[in-house]
Amino acid sequence: MSTRALFRPILTQLPRATRRGVIPTAHPLLARSQWSPPQSVLRSFTSSSIQWRFQDITKFAKGVPITYEELKPITEAPNDDILLIDVREPNEVVQGTIPSAVPLPLSSFEKSLSMDEGDFVKKHGFRKPTKLQPIVFFCKAGVRAQTAIDLAKKAGYKHLRNYEGSYADWIAKDQANAHDDD
């Protein structure tokens, strides 16, 4: 009995919806099949979050500075994919910060990156970023954030962006947007 004969009953018993479409033709058996992924899979793969990830990961890899307009949606729908780090000192952070940001002061930054995961979590209260995790840094005006990026690159981190306007820019633009909404 040939392989084709073994699989013919299986392929003909598949629901009609799963037999439509085109799939890679590397294997002769697959080439004759008309299977395609369900529409729900296609919809989830082309969702806006996935699409955003593919479009913006290049900017993270190249280290292109992030703008207020790019950062605002990230803060409105925070997730574990992108980490927003405030490198200002604790006495500055208490005056206010960007929503969803975690504090990691520049004064302890380099030492913190060399800690193991457990010690990092105990000291800072959040998980240590992975080397490939997209990270946005900010401070008061962008200078210390760039220093943090340089230190992170030296430690092997890859997908880093600086919010050059930093907290000063955030406050100015956030207040301007609040007045526009009135």
What is the rounded distance in angstroms from the CA atom of residue 166 to the CA atom of residue 87? Answer: 10
Q: Between β-strands 160-162 and 83-86, what pairing exists: parallel, antiparallel or unpaired?
A: unpaired
Residue 92 — φ and ψ, nearest 5°? -85, -40
Residue positions annotated with a catalytic role: 139
What is the rounded distance in angstroms from the CA atom of residue 14 to the CA atom of residue 153? Answer: 51
What is the rounded distance in angstroms from the CA atom of residue 36 to the CA atom of residue 21? Answer: 5
- Cα 104 to chain centroid distance, Å, stands at 18
